[in-house]
Amino acid sequence: MQQEDNAMAGGIEITEDLTIPKLFWKKSQEFGADRVAMREKEFGVWRPITWSQYLENVKHLTLGLVKLGLKKGDKVSIIGDNRPEGLWAEMAVLCAGGVGVWLFQDCLIDEVRYILDHSDSKFLFGEGQEEVDKALSVIDECPKLEKVIWDDPKGMRNYDQDSLRSLKQIQELGRDLEKEQPNLFAELIEQGTGSEVALLFYTSGTTSLPKGALLSHNNMLTMGKALMAVDPCKETDDYVSYLPFAWIGEQMMSISCGLQVGYTINFPEDPATAQENIREIGPHVMFAPPRMYEQMTRTVQVKYLDASWTKRKFFELTNKIGYHVADLKFEKKPIPVHWQILQWLARITVQNKVRDHLGLSRVRNAYTGGAAMGPDHFRFFHALGVNLKQIYGQTEVAGISVVHRSGDIKFDTVGKPIPGTEIKITEDGEIITRSPSVFLGYYKNPEATEKALQDDWLYSDDKGFMDEDGHLVVFDRTKDVFTLKDGQPFSPQYLETRLKFSPYIRDAWVLGHKRDYVAAVMCIDYNVVGNWADEKKLNYTSYPELSQKPEVYDLVEKQIRQANKDLPESARVYKFTNLYKELDADDDELTRTRKLRRSFVEKRYQSIVEALYSDADAVHIDTTIKYEDGREAHIKTDLTIQKVAQ
C-alpha cells in the first residue's frame, strides 16, 4: 500500500459544512470588484468579469430558479460551449441546493434523451438554438423536464413554446424575488453540508450505456485541495477553460482548484479559435487529454515538414539538445555545464518560439489524463521545456488520485498518490483507491455501485502495479489487456499511442488478443496526408480514395515500422489496413472523450478483422455513413490488406 502524507499544505480548511456555494460566496466577498474572476473573448475583445459581477449574475439566476420552482436535490442539466453563462448556471444550481448535470456539447439526440430522462432533470440550460432544438425534440419523452433555458438569442426569434425561458428572464425573476426576500440568497448559501450531492457526471461508457456518478461537494473540494498541495497555483494565474465541462478534468480545474485559488478563468471566443486564444492568454496551468497534446505535436511536425531545409536542420539540432537534457532529468542525472549552455541556446533560438506558438510560453505545470499518453509525446514536450505531467484518476474520484511530481517524472508511470489518497494493487493486479474524493455511488444503479465500492475502496477495473520508486504504472483496462501468441500480456493502447506519434496517423486500432499476430486498422490524418499527396502529385477526391492509394499505404507502413522498433516480435504489427473514414464519436466508435470502444468497433468492422486474419489481400466495403446534419453517403470500396516488412 502506498500513501502520501495526509497533511495538505496551505489553502482552505475543508470542514464537514463547507460546500462549493459557501466557498464561492467567500471568494466573491474577498475579491469583490477589484479582481477579475473570468474573461470571455467576444467580437475580438477580451471582456473581463469581476468577482462582484460573477456573484451578482449567479445570485439573480439562483433566485430565478427558485422562483421557477427548483427545489433542493432537483437535477438541472446544462449543455453548451465553455462560456461564463454556463459556469453561472452551474453555480446557481448549486447555490439553490440543486444538482448539476453537464452534457457534452456534441451529444446526439439519443444521448441527450437518455441523460435528461435518466437524471430526472427538471430544467435544462442550453446555450442557443442548436441546444434548444435538441431539448424540444425529446421533451415529450422526458416527463420530469419542465423548462428549457437559453442564453444566446441568435436564431431564437420565432421560438415561443411555453417551456422556453431566456436566461435574462430567469434573472429578472430573481431580481423580483430579491425585492420580496432580500436575505433569501444568503440563507440558501448557508444551507447544505459537504456530504450532499453537488454534481452528477455521466461516464464515457466504453462498453455500455453511461453510468451517472454522484459527486459531493466534499469530493470535489478535497481533490482540488490535494492537487494544489502538490502544485500550488497563484491568485494571479490564468487558466483557459476550453475542454467540455461534462468532462471531470475541466471541472477539476475550473471548480475544484479554480474556486479555491481564485485564479482567472478565460473562455475562448469559439471552440475553433481555442488554440489561438490559448496563445493570447498564455496560461500558467493547463490540463488536457492526450488527444490535445497529440494535436499540438502534429501541428509542430507539420510545420517542420513544410519548413525550408535550413529551418528543418536547425530544429533537428535544438530538438536533439532538448531530448538529451530531458533524458538526463528523467534519469535524475546532473546536467553538465556545456549542455546547460546548449540548452539555453536552443531555448532562445527555437524552443521558446515553438512553445509560444502552442500557447505554452508561461505554463508552469501541464497535465494530461483521461487516457494513456505515449512516451514519444511525453519526451517531445519535455524536450521543448514544458513541465508535462501524467495524472491518473477517474470521474469516480472527482478527477485525479495520482500525479507526477516536478523533478520526479517517469514517462512510463503516472506518478505518486496525491495527499490523502491510498493506492493498493489487488492479487489480480487491479488498482483500487481510497480517499475523501471517492464518489457516493452511481445514480439509480445499486448493482454497479456495489461492484465499484467495496469496504471504502474504489475498484477501478484498471490493471497496474507499483514500481520500486513508489510510482504507479497503469497497464490498461482489465478488459482491454491482450494475451499475445507467446502468452505475454500486452496493452494495445501503448502501441496505439506510439503509432499516433506520427503526424500522418490520426487514430489507430490494434488487434491481437489470443491471435497468431498483431494487426492494426489505421486512420490517416486527411489534412496532413493530403498535403503530402499534393507534393507527390497524387490525385484524389475524398478521404476513402486517398486512404487507399498504394503510396499512402507505403507511407503508413513506414510509420508502423518505426513504432514496431524496440517491441518484442510477438507485439509488432504484422498486417494492417487503412480505414475508409476516421473513427467518430457520432458513430459510437469513440466515446465523447475519444476513447476507443473496442468491442463495438470489432463488431461493426467484423469483416475487416476477419480479412486481417486470413490470406485475403483486400476486403470489400459496401456501407452507408451518416453525417451529423442527417445527410447520408454510400461508400463502396475495397480496403487493401498489407503486410509490414519486419
pLDDT in tens, 208-266: 678 999 999 999 999 999 999 999 999 999 999 999 999 999 999 999 999 999 999 99
Q: What is the pLDDT of residues 6-48, one digit of tens each?
A: 333 346 889 999 999 999 999 999 999 999 999 999 989 999 9
Domain co-membership, 423 together with 503? no
Residues 38 and 174 in one domain: yes
Q: Is residue 208 part of a domain?
A: no
578 in Cβ contact with 639 (< 8 Å): yes
pTM over 0.75: yes
In angstroms, the first-to-last Cα distance of the chain is 42
CATH number of the domain residue 94 falls in: 3.40.50.12780
Considering the chain, what percentage of its residues have pLDDT values greater than 90? Answer: 75
Report the chain's mean pLDDT, rounded to a whole number.
91
pLDDT band at 3 (very low <50, low <70, confident <90, very high): very low
Q: Which of 191, 212, 237 is the endpoint of a domain?
A: 191
Among 165, 191, 217, the domain-final residue is 191
Of 455, 479, 503, the residue at which a domain comes to its end is 479
Pair 312, 448 in one domain? yes
What domain range is 437 assigned to?
288-361+364-479
- CA pair distance 592, 107, nearest whole angstrom: 8
Residue 62 lies in a domain: yes
Tell me, yes or no, whether 600 lies in a domain: yes
Say yes or no: 466 and 520 in one domain. Answer: no
Q: Is residue 182 very low, low, confident or very high in pLDDT (cuts 50, 70, 90)?
A: very high
Burial of 424 (0-12, 13-18, 19+ CB in 10 A): middle
281 assigned to some structural domain:
no
Q: Which residue has the higher pLDDT, 207 or 278?
A: 278
Could you tell me which residue, 622 or 465, shows the higher pLDDT? 465
Q: Are residues 169 and 96 in the same domain?
A: yes
pLDDT for 494 equals 84
Minimum mean pLDDT range among 390-399, 418-427, 592-601: 592-601
User: Is 491 inside a domain boundary?
Assistant: yes
pLDDT for res 584: 86
Question: What confidence tier does 630 reach under pLDDT thresholds 50, 70, 90?
Answer: low
457 with 582, same domain: the answer is no
Residue 210 domain flag: no
| Residue 596: per-residue pLDDT | 85
Based on the fold, state whether residues 394 and 471 are members of the same structural domain. Answer: yes
Q: Answer for the pair 99, 73: CB distance below 8 angstroms, yes or no.
A: yes
Q: Are 184 and 47 in the same domain?
A: yes
Buried b (16+ CB within 10 A) or exposed e, 257-294: bbbbbbbbbbbbbeeeebbebbbebebbbbbbbbbbbb
Instruction: For residue range 483-515, list pLDDT tens digits in order.
Output: 888 888 888 888 888 898 888 999 999 999 999
pLDDT (mean) for 181-187: 96
Is the domain of 325 the same as that of 468? yes
Q: What is the DSSP letter of 99?
A: E
Q: What is the pLDDT of residues 298-345, one digit of tens each?
A: 899 888 988 999 999 999 999 999 999 999 999 999 999 999 999 999
Domain count of the chain? 3
The strand pairing partners of 643, in sequence order, are: 575
Same domain, yes or no, for 452 and 500?
no
**CATH number of domain containing 507:** 3.30.300.30
- Is 50 exceeded by the pLDDT of residue 601? yes
Domain for residue 269, yes or no?
no
Is 218 part of a structural domain of the chain? no
Say if residue 182 is in the same domain as residue 158: yes
Q: Please list the residues that pair with 215 across neighbouring strands.
A: 199
Based on the fold, state whether residues 99 and 57 are members of the same structural domain: yes
The sign of the dihedral angle between the CA atoms of 378, 276, 249, 135 is negative
